[in-house]
Structure 1
Amino acid sequence: MGYELYYWNGLQGRGEFVRLALEEAGADYVDVTRQPERGTSEMLALLKSDSEPHLPFAPPILKDGEILVSHVANILAYLGPKLGLAPRDEAERWFANGLQLTITDFVAEVHDTHHPIATGKYYEDQKPEAKARSAAFISERIPKFLGYFERVLNQNPKGNRHAVGDRLTTVDLSLFQVLEGLAYAFPKAMARVSGQYPALEALQAMVGTRPNIAAYRASPGRLPFNEDGIFRHYPELDVG
């Protein structure tokens, strides 16, 4: 029996970080809410369960037999060794997990550029605040995070092709997704810093052309970015 992934249908969102790992490894999995006979109702039933002892708070959720794992970094820490996408060395595995948690922080800040006041309010209800938040994000937070990950790549003693160790890990896949998302959400801002993070740009190109990832990107399974996900393109928020 393959893995079961629970995430909101119709958008990449945080579930995409898990999908990329599963796709790269060629793993057998089912995107539950995209199955007509199962759908979002099955995920909601799990989230609202009054009997599940390992009750998850929110998707994405991975089910592996009787095991339920939630939160992106936690799921990838679970999947990495199983899929051959984790460092072999214990110290490197913990470092990779720390990088994944830092990516989680970065993604949360991306979300807050278009929802700085309240998740429950529409973007249109907080546009002035979103514009101010996005300007600060572009000028301060993008350089801080990308500068850090660029240093991580360049200081990898085994070469700057990968974030950790000498082979592809879930961290590389997640950095690829972040860079793709930023290019969609803030094309002008990202064009302005083109060339400033050469190791990250090389990693993005490397991951994007891996056979399984390239095939997935060309398939219907890879949904396009849209304005219901984390990475949203609102021209008024993109400072070039």
Structure 2
Amino acid sequence: MTYELYYWDGIQGRGEFVRLALEEAGADYIDITRQSDRGRGTGAMLAIMQSSSEAHIPFAPPFLKDGDLIIPHVANILLYLGPKLRLAPDDEGMRYVVNGLQLTITDFVAEVHDTHHPIATSLYYEDQKEEAKARSASFIKERIPKFLGYFERVRQQNPTSSQYIVGDVLTYVDLSLFQIIEGLVYAFPKAMSRYRSKYPLLAALHDSVEERPNIARYLKSDRRLPFNTQGVFRHYPELDRDVS
């Protein structure tokens, strides 16, 4: 059965974490809002979210449809898809370890978002620029090292493999960490200019994911939208700074 992925068109955003898993697995899926035929497009997504008859309606995208089942939230979607796409450990207990790491990534992504929208999502960035500068300075100085340092340590202490974050096979968390690094390098190139020397294991993980055949093809395709100032990771030069 074909998976249906629902997320805002025109941006990578949080939907990209799910998209990378589907692409790596070579799964059959449709990016619904990027299709305008046969009742698809953004209207189809909003119709589900605003439905007065659909059971278990999602609060916000991304969400995934697998037949009649609707699964919301990135970490929840990946917990569901992981075993099906062979991107999760066989051991049930370890699947919750992987889910915990993905939930930590969820927290990290929320903090990334708040660097450019520290007051309210209903306000434009220009309406909260000064607050965004203060929030970004703290994020760069304190939060990037805290999160990346944690994931570097997790990979270093993986007793099974020196290649992956958990266990001895690729999981969706490896793919998500690739996306985190890609996004941070785009949004904060000065702050991330020395990340390879500070977090060499994460840098190696990023490079190994980038070289995987399905991911490499995806990154070169028009399905991989470029980063822009509408998504979660946004580059505003005034928010970036060198931390050397």
Q: TM-score, normalised by structure 1?
A: 0.99
Q: Are 1:194 and 2:205 counterparts?
A: no
- Output the aligned Cα RMSD: 0.7
Structure 1 position 89, deviation (Å) = 1.5
- Letter of the 1:108 counterpart: A
Q: Which residue of 2 aligns with 1:102?
A: 104
- Letter of the 2:22 counterpart: L
Residue of structure 1 aligned with 2:127, choices 108, 125, 128? 125
- The secondary structure found in structure 2 opposite 1:188 is coil
Residue of structure 1 aligned with 2:76, choices 74, 77, 83? 74
- Letter of the 1:114 counterpart: H
Structure 1 position 92, deviation (Å) = 1.4
Report percent identity of matched pairs.
71
Q: Which residue of 1 aligns with 2:8?
A: 8
Q: Which residue of 2 aligns with 1:57?
A: 59
- Letter of the 2:14 counterpart: R
Where in structure 2 are there 5+ consecutive unaligned residues? Answer: none
- Letter of the 2:47 counterpart: A
Where in structure 1 are there 5+ consecutive unaligned residues? Answer: none
Structure 1 position 11, deviation (Å) = 0.3
Q: Are 1:232 and 2:234 counterparts?
A: yes
- Letter of the 2:171 counterpart: T
Structure 1 position 91, deviation (Å) = 2.2
Q: Which residue of 2 aligns with 1:183?
A: 185
- The secondary structure found in structure 2 opposite 1:187 is coil
Q: Which residue of 1 aligns with 2:162?
A: 160
Deviates more, 1:194-203 or 1:106-115: 194-203
Q: Which residue of 2 aligns with 1:44?
A: 46
- Letter of the 1:6 counterpart: Y
Moved over 3 A (4+): none
Structure 1 position 192, deviation (Å) = 3.4
- Letter of the 2:7 counterpart: Y
- Count of residues in Structure 1 that have an aligned counterpart in Structure 2: 240
Q: Which residue of 1 aligns with 2:218?
A: 216
Q: Which residue of 2 aligns with 1:203?
A: 205
- Letter of the 1:17 counterpart: F
